[in-house]
């Protein structure tokens, strides 16, 4: 295409780009519509010389700098996302350990009809082992965005189990206070029926419901935790090739094996026992 056929606006933009790259002063007067063909040809040749010396070099330098910065940010984002995913696995493992310990304590009374009053309160369960969901928002841009919602639901179930436990602990304290009052009375009741009647149907009903709810919520939270830990492991392996997810360790302290760690993996049969 001859230079004379270039649209005046495009030619002006090329001149400004070349001058911005080389530091020359644009000859605005030569861009008049009435410029002769010879003048336009000389201007086009001069512009190509400027671009071939300084303009192209400046453009390539800026392009490579942009690419390098973009790759650096991608590496940092990848490292940060991988770290967040592994921290989530660590938190899930802490939750799982607490829930399994609680489940082991409740097992001996699981089929006992009087478990509502025989199951002792459990203290020392930390509410601080919660997932940092904002750090996992990158999952929304992944191929499995629903994983974030599942992790949030799993974290909620863990919190609900601890809430039920706290409410039952409080009810057990009320029960013990009433029993202590009965024992100190001048004519303490001797049979279980009289004791249950003295406790009151309201407290007994609350304890019964909370105890049933505790068994249900703990088992549900354990099942969800096992499944989400396995899903998160699969996400790490598929999204970050060469990186290994955490292995699951459960410290068995309610079976006479204090201090022994069972590395049963994210989806083993022992984890679901």
pLDDT score recorded for residue 77: 83
Whether residue 128 is found in the same domain as residue 223: yes
Residue 199 covered by a domain: yes
pLDDT score recorded for residue 268: 33
Whether residue 58 is found in the same domain as residue 159: no
Name the residue range of residue 225's domain: 88-263
Whether residue 158 is found in the same domain as residue 208: yes
Give dist(CA 265, CA 263) in Å, integer. 6
Residue 137 covered by a domain: yes
Whether residue 103 is found in the same domain as residue 43: no
pLDDT score recorded for residue 44: 60
Residue 76 covered by a domain: no
Whether residue 147 is found in the same domain as residue 20: no
What pLDDT tens digit does each residue of the chain (273 aa) get?
Answer: 444 444 455 455 555 555 555 555 554 444 444 555 566 566 666 656 665 566 666 766 776 676 676 677 778 888 999 999 999 999 999 999 999 999 999 999 999 999 998 999 988 787 889 999 999 999 999 999 999 999 999 999 999 999 999 999 999 999 998 888 887 877 766 677 777 777 888 999 999 999 999 999 999 999 999 999 999 999 999 999 988 888 875 544 444 444 444 334 333 333 332
pLDDT score recorded for residue 201: 84
CB 124 within 8 A of CB 162: no
Q: How many domains does the chain fold into?
A: 2
Residue 77 covered by a domain: no
Give dist(CA 242, CA 247) in Å, integer. 15
CB 139 within 8 A of CB 223: no
Give dist(CA 200, CA 191) in Å, integer. 15
Task: Extract the tokens encoding 128.
Answer: 């601080």
The 3 state secondary structure assigned to 213-272 is HHHHHHHHHHHHHHHHHHHHHHHHHHHCCCCCCCCCEEECCCCCCCCCEEECCCCCCCCC
Residue 272 covered by a domain: no
Whether residue 149 is found in the same domain as residue 40: no
pLDDT score recorded for residue 180: 85
pTM over 0.85: no
- The HSE-up count of residue 247 (CA atoms within 13 Å, CB side) is 8
Cα 24 to Cα 18, 19, 38, 207, distances in angstroms: 8, 5, 21, 87
Give dist(CA 9, CA 50) in Å, integer. 19
Whether residue 35 is found in the same domain as residue 167: no
């Amino acid at each position: 295409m001859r230079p004379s056929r270039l649209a005046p606006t495009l030619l002006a933009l090329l001149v400004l780009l070349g001058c911005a790259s080389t530091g020359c002063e644009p000859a605005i007067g030569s861009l008049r519509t009435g410029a002769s063909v010879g003048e336009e040809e000389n201007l086009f040749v001069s512009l190509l010389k400027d671009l071939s010396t300084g303009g192209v070099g400046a453009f390539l330098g800026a392009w490579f700098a942009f690419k390098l910065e973009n790759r650096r940010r991608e590496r940092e984002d990848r490292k940060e996302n991988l770290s967040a995913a592994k921290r989530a696995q660590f938190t899930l493992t802490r939750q799982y350990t607490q829930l399994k310990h609680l489940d082991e304590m409740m097992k001996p009374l699981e089929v006992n009809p009087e478990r509502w009053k025989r199951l002792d309160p459990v203290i020392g369960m930390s509410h601080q082992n919660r997932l940092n969901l904002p750090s996992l928002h990158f999952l929304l841009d992944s191929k499995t965005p629903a994983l974030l919602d599942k992790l949030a639901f799993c974290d909620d179930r863990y919190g609900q189990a601890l809430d039920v436990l706290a409410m039952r602990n409080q009810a057990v304290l009320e029960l013990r206070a009433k029993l202590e009052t009965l024992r100190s009375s001048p004519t303490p009741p001797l049979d279980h029926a009289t004791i249950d009647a003295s406790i009151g149907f309201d407290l007994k009903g609350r304890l019964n419901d909370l105890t049933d709810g505790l068994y249900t919520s703990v088992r549900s939270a354990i099942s969800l935790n096992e499944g989400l830990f396995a899903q998160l492991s699969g996400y790490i392996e598929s999204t970050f090739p060469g990186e290994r997810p955490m292995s699951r360790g459960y410290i068995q302290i309610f079976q006479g094996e204090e201090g022994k760690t069972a590395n049963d993996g994210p989806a083993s049969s022992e984890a679901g026992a």
